[in-house]
Structure 1
Amino acid sequence: MTRWKELALSPYFHKHEETQRLVDYLSTCFPDFTERQCAREAIWEALFPGQAHDQGKLAVLFTYAQRLADEFLALEQLRQEEGVRNRWLLTQYRERQVWRSYEKKLRQSRQRMAQVRRRDVAFYQDQLALAAERNQYYLRHDQRREDRSLEEKQQALDHYYLLEKLRDAVEMQVRRQILSGSYSARLLEAVIQELDQNAEAYQEAPTVQVYYRLYLMMTTPSLHHYQQALADFQDHEQHFGPDETATIYNYFQNFCIGRINQNEAGFLRELFQLYRAQLDRGLLMEDGYLVEWHYKNIVTTALRLGELDWTEGFIEGYKQQLSPAAADNAYRFNLAALRHAQGDYGKVLELLTRVEYSDLRYNLGAKALLMRTYYELEEFEALTALVDTFRQYLQRNRLLADSRRSGYYHLFRLARRAANLRAKLPYQPADKSRTILHKLRQDLAATEAVFNRGWLEEKLELIEDAL
């Protein structure tokens, strides 16, 4: 607020005295912009004491103040963009033909770029703009000597374009897995073909290589593509900033989760290690808080590995690192999952009644956990009613991606059949029960997308033991 006031009071930026008084008054109200202080009538009286209220004039002052605020925010952002400031300064030197200062700043800019470790989109954008500026300098001087600025500009343009296309393509694949809908990406096929045929030409652009591997991992899922993408990323992790590094780890996590859901349990331990490494490095934090969905996924992974003691310590130890808005809900839901693994089913029901279901992920996860709890408590009528209502919920919710819809649908469908079989065991002939169990196992094995597959298989084994 102080810097905005300083900008508004500077005659370089603004000379309108009444607007300056408005900004000055607002700065005295900061940070508590109460109705008593900031109602239109209160502001008018502070600026023009004793004068008749003129809403039209006040509206004009508000408009001027808003423009000053917009300019201030843009300048604050520019202060953080050293590459942009240098390019604009070079442009001014060139247009004013201050060649000595221009050449010095150009050398400094190139030296700065050479020292940058990151190879993200912003780096290639800066590299492209700097090469374009060098090319302008060459054209202006019309020097008859070899100059590589145009070639470097083309190379930077290639790297920038390929990286941005691949980053968007990877993110589109992620969104297809979460939400239904189609995404168009013209020229992507040409980008992939170029990298398929000329991968060696982009060895100096390691981030392009990493996103290319990520795209292959997502579009043609296989252990080979996963391992190759992870190896490339780990070899070049230093070229990514913290936010992008965390995003890429999330891509690998989602891949592991998808394979686990397809009954490839070997990915569980690797997923767990990925989470723990990121926890140690603070990569799962946003705005100073642990992201609640990382919190949930870590708990789910640890429980499936049987790490109950570690999970209890994690849930309690990291609760305070969740954002205040999410902490209570995330804590209750994940504690309910732990209590389910410990067999404290009454506590599960108590905790789930205190979870808010405004988010789709909590809604789905809580219903699946509630269904499993009903099964363990042999509340088969309640389970059947829950399955019926959940089926209607899936039909109504059109935003849910087909893969997730199928995974939950088959979990509830097969669990209901297992519950019906278990409920009839005491009075149904054993041979008939074995026939039903055999068919149920066949159907489970033939169904590709089933969430909580391991839990279902365990319940079927217990039924077989009881026969």
Structure 2
Amino acid sequence: MIYSDTKLIVFLQTFSKKETEEFEKFIISPYFKQGRDLQPLYKAIVKFYPDFDPEKFNEEIIYKELYPDSDFGDRKSKDILKTLSSSLLKMAEEFMVISNLRKNKVLRNRTMLEELLDRDLVKYFSKYRDIADEVLNMKGELSGNRILEKYFIKGTDTRYFNSILDHGNYLKNAFKSGEYLSEYFLINLLRIAKLKYFSRAEDEIEHEKDIADLLFESMDIEKVLKISEDSPHNFLLAFHYYSYLSLIKKCDPVHFAKAKEIFYNNKSKISRMEKFYLYADLLNIQNLGYHFVKYTANRREIYDLLISCIEDGAYKLTKEAYMQPGFYRNVILNAIFFKDYEKAYEFTDKFSDELKPAYRKNMKFYSRALISFGKGDFEDALVNISKVKYDLVNFKVDVKLLSLKIFYELRMTEQAFSMTDTFRHYLKSNNEIPAELKESYSNFIKSYIRILNIREKKDKEEAMYMKKETEDEKLMAQRSWLIDKLEAL
């Protein structure tokens, strides 16, 4: 393994500029220092942050930085660098854990309460408990995990009241902790039920029934919702229940509307991360619904949800995280579907820099090519698509499909035939694309070549015959585009 791919360097790449500075202070701190002086190694490595370009950064360069008068390559020199790197990795792991504890005020407060109880410092418990409560109940931070955290905090309360022999409050808090745990359990049970359904519907994976399934089947969730209607967490349970009902009924609009209304009425109460997951649920249901029936109404709902998700900043789990390329692509594709070209251009300008650096230019060029193609500016689409170089499997296919459509519109027949040949070889050698999807692409290539020949011959009768075949074919990528071209012939 090359040095830039080692766990140490991969971890360091995730550090912010501020964290790289804090980490240096961390490794020289007398409290955390573990014998070896790791600062020289870190200083040598961090010079290459954040890219750690393999062409300029390797073991020999780092070793020479540490020991300029020694040669690198023998077993001893490699062992020395390996040992130092291993020690620095352990420090990085420790730093990441402590940094997380500093950021996670809820966990930090609970840890402090547990320490007070462990050390029999119960007279200070109430003061720190108030601080924990303040953080735990902050507005706009509710989530399923926050409910679980309330359960853990109630656990410290029961320990506290037990230690001061207050039996009444001990029981009261024990019962409340059970209530929180029950709410968390039911919410998570519904989440798992939805996940299983998605995996069956999309990946065709069958799951054996387990305890969670049996428990879920034996419950009357409607009754539970009525019993718990006064709980501040009731809306989360209701959302997951009605979104589940919509899902299993192939995007039933009544239950979907109910789940969406519950979410929109309460989204100001929940955390960014929880919004991310609930938006994902709604989008997945609509995507599945569109897969079943291909209604434009589903597509409109998907686009509106994507825009709302962007406006709420819920398109990524944390502020520091990168936007997922799949989300970026879906926004562009749906904007183009509804001919909302201004919004599409605005999105590429504003959000391309939120992708991982390795994806930014390619995604922007690809998106610009899609927008130009949608507008009928095929020359500009060709200019942009020619600049794209993709490593992601799905996008390699997307680029090839779009390139073929551009070649068709510009009557670049020679390039079109060359690309179909390249596409065929790519599909044949690729083992990551599912068999059915691969077949749909292969069918597209065959149909594409036939259309080129039909256009050349100007054979209208053959075009109409092929249109019927294309409509009837079970597996066909870009079906609507092919039909449009055949109708135009």
TM bracket (short chain): 0.7 to 0.9
Alpha-carbon distance, 1:74 to partner: 2.0
Q: Given the alignment of the two structures, is residue 70 of structure 1 paired with residue 100 of structure 2, yes or no?
A: no
> 2:3 aligns to what?
none
2:391 alignment partner, SS class = coil
Alpha-carbon distance, 1:424 to partner: 4.6
Q: Percent identity?
A: 18
Do the aligned residues in 2 keep the contact of 1:299 with 1:311 (CA within 8 Å)?
yes
> 1:240 aligns to what?
270
Alpha-carbon distance, 1:264 to partner: 1.0
Deviations 1:374-429 (A, max 9, x none): 44355678767766765665565443356755664665565566556555544x7x
> 2:369 aligns to what?
336
- Whose RCO is larger (CA < 8 A, sep 6+)? 1
Do the aligned residues in 2 keep the contact of 1:172 with 1:183 (CA within 8 Å)?
yes
92, 96, 102: which is aligned to 1:79?
A: 102
Moved more, 235-244 or 346-355: 346-355
TM-score between the two structures when normalised by the length of structure 1: 0.76
Alpha-carbon distance, 1:129 to partner: 1.0
Do the aligned residues in 2 keep the contact of 1:202 with 1:209 (CA within 8 Å)?
no
> 1:91 aligns to what?
114
Could you list the runs of 5+ residues in structure 1 that have no partner in the other structure?
47-52
Could you list the runs of 5+ residues in structure 2 that have no partner in the other structure?
1-19, 49-56, 70-75
Matched residues in 1 for 2:264 and 2:161: separation? Answer: 40
> 1:211 aligns to what?
240
Do the aligned residues in 1 keep the contact of 2:189 with 2:216 (CA within 8 Å)?
no
23, 28, 32: which is aligned to 2:47?
A: 32
Amino acid paired to 2:238: Q
TM-score between the two structures when normalised by the length of structure 2: 0.73
Alpha-carbon distance, 1:359 to partner: 1.0
Alpha-carbon distance, 1:301 to partner: 1.6
> 1:368 aligns to what?
401
> 1:50 aligns to what?
none
> 2:295 aligns to what?
264
TM-aligned CA distance change 1:247 to 1:409, over 3 Å: farther
Deviations 1:186-245 (A, max 9, x none): 334235433645441454333333334444444432233432332222122134322342
1:354 alignment partner, SS class = coil
Matched residues in 2 for 1:459 and 1:56: separation? Answer: 64
> 2:332 aligns to what?
299
> 2:433 aligns to what?
400
172, 176, 179: which is aligned to 1:155?
A: 179
Do the aligned residues in 1 keep the contact of 2:471 with 2:479 (CA within 8 Å)?
no
2:296 alignment partner, SS class = coil
> 2:488 aligns to what?
462
Matched residues in 2 for 1:407 and 1:35: separation? Answer: 44
Matched residues in 2 for 1:217 and 1:54: separation? Answer: 62
104, 111, 120: which is aligned to 2:143?
A: 120
243, 264, 275: which is aligned to 2:306?
A: 275
TM-aligned CA distance change 1:260 to 1:379, over 3 Å: farther
Amino acid paired to 1:236: N
> 2:468 aligns to what?
439
1:209 alignment partner, SS class = helix
Matched residues in 2 for 1:314 and 1:99: separation? Answer: 54
Moved more, 345-354 or 83-92: 345-354
Do the aligned residues in 1 keep the contact of 2:369 with 2:385 (CA within 8 Å)?
yes
> 1:220 aligns to what?
249
